[in-house]
Structure 1
Amino acid sequence: MSKKYRNTIILISLPLQILVIQFLSTKPNWVEEAYTNKFYKSLSQVLRIVFGAIPVPVGQLLFYSIIAAMLFWLFRQVRQMWLKQVSLKTFFQRVGLAAVGFLSIFYFLFTLMWGLNYHRQPIQEIVDIRPRKVSTPELKTLCRELIRLTNQSRQQLTQQENQPLILPISHDQMLQEAAVGFKVIAQKYSKLMYTYPAVKQVYVPQLMSFFGIGGIYFPFTGEANVNMDPPNFVLPATVCHEMAHQIGFASEDEANFVSYLACRLNPNPAFQYSGNLMAMKYAMNRLVRVDSVAFKQLERSFSPGLQQDLKKNREYWESFQNPIEVVSDGIHNLFLKANDQEEGLESYSMVVELLLAEYRKNRLKY
């Protein structure tokens, strides 16, 4: 193959892939049945069986290795240009082609191994709920109920109200017991079945916090990677969120909703509190935007212990605020929008629509 022909293939492959994905995004039923429920389900289970048996986070090690290799390659190209072994034009041609080639390969593998799940049927078709536009009165009712559930589930864990909660569960136990909630859900909704766990703690979790990341799913190995450094009362919901990604729920709002269900239906009260807390925070964050007076009124119903927990979590993340986190959020926002999540980072909070639909259906009673 000639160099010119190879370069042409590299340059046209990425836009061609994008066109194919745009076409498939109009076929959610086909994606659901042919891709998510057959190809992806089988592939992800095989990956979790293989890499779940390895105690170290293979995906994370692979990620760092790729970054190191790319930086080394770029250093060599810069060195050759600096020593005038290649011209500036040749340098930019090489770097440009390499970037397009890498993005093309990455996009192909990412889409094949997970990304098409962004275009599956919406979760409301699976759990039989009907989201609609959020009204302020309904939102206040939802917030009131979630605050009650959060206060109640915290009291089941401790009567101490003057200090932040430390869940009576180890990180390893948390990772092992997370699948229990999914098993309960799957009795009603088979597509939420989770098998062959492959959830691992990340190396250097403070680095993840520095970038504002609580967890990440690595589709090339099927592993869910969780940052275990934040306050442990938020971790069960994070673990279940990443597990939701593993079983094909790519959209952040849907992963949050599945996480909430998995936590609420888990018999361990540590999971119940974490799930209620997550849902309550999203609902209250939505309320403060539309009715700050109602927000302040409902905020007074937080138990002293809940206030302590929220303060601890807020102070934890504030301690990692830095300019790089802003860049990281910007990249994540673009990534989500590129994968048909028009709201970008705001898609996380779209779980409120799903929570309200669930509330209308059964008043959050399980």
Structure 2
Amino acid sequence: MDFKIKNWVALSLIPQVILVKWMANYPDAVEKYYSEGIYPWISKFFRILYGWIPFSIGDVFYFILSVLAIWYVIKHWSEIRTYPLRFLRDVLFVLSIVYFTFHLLWGMNYYRQPLAQKFAFNEKHSDDDLIDLVEVLVLKTNELQLSITQDTALAVKIPYSKNEIFNKTLIGYENLKNDYPFISYQKPSIKKSIFSTALSYMGYGGYLNPFTHEAQV
């Protein structure tokens, strides 16, 4: 690729960041034109495209890209050491593309209207209220743990397979949609993550891949 194009794309990361930060000041506009405008079409397209595939395309992409990145660094290590600024430019080039793609496909949802506003939760609560709620939830969780396992240290074993959990999730969405019509999950794309065990150790129960719109568990 032409060096000038790479330079311009790499430098475009700066105005991209500025633009996103500026748009973050207008959650109503983000909600109207992105979250309720183009995003549902983007999300639906990718769920149709990848939802029928039984494994996580996003995880496969992540794995392949990670391997290619490591291979590239090893193969071009001497060149990287000789021309570090050129390598930095290439890194910024990739980051610029990833940053743009991420915010186009999903990331602008970070700056939409707060969920409490969407649910019309108008009550205000203090930090003390939050602490009290957390303490109640901890007590309830411990009580449930003990009632299920009869032991405070044993792990709770979920009596459902992942596919059964996926189906229950879809039922939950249908029930919520009756009260909150904006919660609608069409063309499901729910997958078992290739890295689910590692994610569990890191404290993640699941995530939405922002590039493929697959729900990963």
* Short-chain TM bin: 0.7 to 0.9
Task: Tell me the CA shift for residue 77 of structure 1.
Answer: 1.0
Tell me, in whole angstroms, the C-alpha distance in 2 between the residues paired with 1:54 and 1:93.
41
Q: Which residue of 2 aligns with 1:13?
A: 12
For residues 148 and 2 of structure 1, the distance between their equivalents in structure 2, rounded to whole angstroms, comes to: 61
Separation (CA, whole Å) in 1 of partners of 2:69 and 2:58: 16
Q: For residues 44 and 91 of structure 2, what CA distance do their matches in structure 1 show?
A: 31
Residue in structure 2 matching 1:118, options 110, 135, 152: 110
Aligned to 1:30: 29
CA deviations 1:63-87 (Å, max 9, x no partner) are 1111111111111211xx2xxxx58
Residues 196 and 101 (structure 1), Cα distance of their counterparts in 2 relative to 1, 3 Å cut: same
Q: How much has 1:130 moved relative to structure 2? A: 2.4
Distance 1:207 1:138 in 2: 30
Over 4 Å off, 4+ runs: 145-155
Residue 191 (structure 1) shift: 1.7
For 2:39 and 2:65, how far apart are their aligned partners in 1?
24
Q: Distance in 2 between matches of 1:142 and 1:74?
A: 46
1:215 CA drift (Å): 2.0
Please give the secondary structure, in 1, of the residue aligned with 2:216.
strand
Residue pairs, 1:1-366, within 5 angstroms: 3=3, 5-78=4-77, 81=78, 86=79, 88-90=81-83, 92-136=84-128, 139-140=131-132, 143-144=135-136, 147=139, 151=143, 161-162=150-151, 164-226=155-217
Give the conservation status (yes or no) of the 8 Å contact 1:35–1:116.
Answer: yes
Contact 1:10–1:97 (CA under 8 A) maintained in structure 2: no
Q: Which amino acid aligns with 1:117?
A: N
The residue identity in structure 2 corresponding to 1:110 is F
Output the TM-score relative to the length of structure 2. Answer: 0.85
The separation in 2 between residues aligned to 1:137 and 1:225, in whole angstroms, is 33
Identical-residue share of aligned pairs (%): 22
Task: Give me the whole-angstrom Cα distance separating, in 1, the residues matched to 2:71 and 2:182.
Answer: 43
Query: Is the Cα–Cα contact under 8 Å of residues 32 and 121 in structure 1 kept in the other structure?
Result: yes
- How far did residue 206 of structure 1 move? 3.0
Q: Deviations over 1:140-169 (max 9, x none)?
A: 3674478459857996xx5x6245432321
Structure 1 residues 189 and 76 mapped into 2: Cα distance closer, same or farther (>3 Å)? same
Distance verdict in 2 for CA 1:151–1:108, change over 3 Å: same
State the secondary structure of the residue aligned to 2:100: helix
Name the Cα RMSD after superposition.
2.8
Aligned residues: 215
Deviation larger for 40-49 or 140-149 = 140-149
Which structure has more relative contact order (CA 8 Å, sep 6+)? It is 2
- How far did residue 138 of structure 1 move? 7.1
Structure 1 residues 96, 142: CA separation in 2 closer, same or farther (over 3 Å shift)? closer
State the Cα distance separating 1:118 from its structure 2 match: 0.6
Runs of 5+ unmatched residues, structure 2: none
Q: Which runs of 5+ in 1 are unaligned?
A: 227-366
Partners of 2:23 and 2:30 within 8 A in 1: yes
Normalising by structure 1, what TM-score?
0.53
